[in-house]
């Protein structure tokens, strides 16, 4: 598989689209959605400073019209309805009609909000994803989940709405801070843990190449991750069953993000800790061996991901925040757990004492102890 120019198909009938994995911003592969269209490029100031002029020029060459830009405030704390209103206002002030196209240039926050705005503006307009973070490239840009946070829960307001195309430029990874790379790697590790033991073994031996952004290694990992997600989305677009397995580590991770008010932990960092907690709970329930748990912990450490909860976070904090998770059904917290590495399943009604042990394994010691 070539890592420098790969196409991954997401087959959803009339909502089908392709994921282009390249090393450029040539949008000719999705020109049919751009020609003679009103285009709003939605991003943030930092990303626009890096790529804005190049992306605008390429979009304009496909469209033949002026490309308008909107810079949103950055950060997970800004992923809310007030920010969505900024997109609506821009579209209305520009007089954009139902044939317009929204283009999301940035990480998962920009992509989720742009997609939600596209899903709801005039009851639905086209949008294209150009993810510039590793996490967005392998996760949020694929599959059509869009939305915003509420103070009481992450991604509680949203819609399933598929993009017309996804364009991944591997070279954008070279401008990311190492912390952002590590956060994205958590989602890649997730794919191996939940559905491909051979891929997890491959990743286990390539931490250095991934952390230093070797493009061939990273390109293969991104393509394989996108293929895995595409297969799940094709089987269960609206998360009625199998797609819930993609939330491995997320129930615990979202609890961390809520506790920290989305400010001090990146999503991928929280998911990384969540993967360890899911592995610990899997061990406590007898689904994986101690050696597998130790192996998972070692890999997470090698990839620079956290193994302890935020200072001051308690078992009660975890339980309260997880009780508001979208995967709660009939009052029961449902967990995606390993059974074993490379295979995941959904479990409900986990014994409280067992869950307590899993949570305790990651709690930071109280200062003064």
What positions carry a catalytic annotation? Answer: 123, 145, 187, 229, 239, 243, 247, 250, 254, 267
Count Cβ atoms within 10 A of the Cβ of residue 296 and give its class: 0-12 exposed, 13-18 middle, 19 or more buried: buried
Q: Which of 218, 224, 350 is nearest to 284 (CA)?
A: 350
Structure-token match 């998972």, residue found: 296
Which residues on neighbouring strands pair with residue 157, listed in sequence order?
A: 148
Q: How far is it, in rounded angstroms, from Cα 49 to Cα 359? A: 42
HSE-up of residue 230 (Cα within 13 Å, Cβ side): 23
Identify whether the C-beta of residue 71 lies closer than 8 Å to the C-beta of residue 45.
Answer: yes
User: Residue 187's Cα: distance from chain center in Å?
Assistant: 7
The answer, yes or no, to whether the previous bond of 226 is cis (omega within 30 of 0) is no
Per-residue tokens: 214:
């070797």
Could you list the beta-strand ranges (E) of the chain: 6-10, 17-22, 39-44, 67-72, 101-106, 126-131, 145-150, 153-160, 165-169, 335-338, 344-347
With H, G, I as helix, E, B as strand and everything else as coil, classify residue 195: helix
Can you list the pairs that 205-209 forms with residues at least 24 positions away whose Cβ atoms lie under 8 Å?
A: 207/299, 207/302, 207/303
For the beta carbon of residue 238, count every other beta carbon within 10 angstroms: 10
Burial track 259-282 (b if 16+ CB lie within 10 A, e otherwise): bbebeebbbbbbbbbbbbbbbbbb
- If we measure between CA atoms, which residue out of 114, 29, 28, 101 comes closest to residue 65? 101
């Amino acid at each position: 598989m070539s890592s420098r120019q790969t196409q991954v198909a997401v087959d959803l009938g009339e909502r089908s689209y392709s994921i282009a994995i390249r090393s450029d911003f040539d949008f000719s592969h999705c020109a049919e959605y751009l020609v003679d269209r009103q285009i709003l490029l939605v991003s943030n100031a930092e990303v626009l400073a890096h790529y804005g002029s190049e992306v605008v020029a390429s979009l304009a060459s496909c469209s033949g019209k002026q490309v308008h830009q909107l810079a949103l405030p950055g950060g997970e704390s800004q992923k809310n309805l007030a920010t969505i209103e900024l997109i609506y206002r821009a579209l209305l002030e520009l007089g954009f009609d139902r044939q317009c196209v929204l283009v999301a240039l940035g990480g998962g926050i920009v992509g989720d909000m742009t997609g939600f705005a596209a899903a709801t503006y005039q009851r639905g307009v086209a949008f294209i994803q150009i993810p510039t973070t590793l996490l967005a490239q392998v996760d949020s840009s694929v599959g059509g989940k869009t939305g915003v946070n509420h103070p009481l829960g992450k991604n509680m307001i949203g819609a399933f709405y598929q993009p017309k195309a996804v364009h991944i430029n591997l070279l954008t990874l070279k401008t990311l801070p190492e912390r952002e790379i590590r956060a994205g790697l958590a989602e890649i590790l997730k794919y191996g843990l939940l559905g491909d033991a051979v891929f997890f073994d491959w990743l286990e031996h390539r931490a250095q190449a991934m952390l230093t952004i070797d493009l061939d290694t990273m390109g293969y990992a991104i393509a394989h991750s996108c293929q895995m997600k595409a297969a799940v989305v094709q089987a269960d677009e609206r998360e009625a069953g199998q797609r819930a397995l993609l939330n491995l580590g997320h129930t615990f991770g979202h609890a961390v993000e809520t506790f920290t008010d989305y400010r001090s932990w990146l999503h991928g960092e929280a998911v990384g800790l969540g993967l360890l907690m899911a592995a610990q709970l899997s061990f406590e329930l007898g689904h994986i061996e101690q050696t597998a748990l130790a192996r998972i912990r070692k890999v997470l450490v090698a990839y620079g991901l956290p193994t302890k909860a935020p200072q001051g976070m308690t078992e009660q904090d975890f339980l309260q925040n997880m009780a508001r998770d979208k995967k709660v059904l009939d009052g029961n917290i449902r967990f995606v757990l390993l059974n074993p590495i490379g295979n995941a399943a959904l479990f409900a009604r986990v014994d409280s004492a067992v869950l307590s042990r899993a949570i305790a394994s990651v709690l930071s010691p109280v200062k003064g102890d």
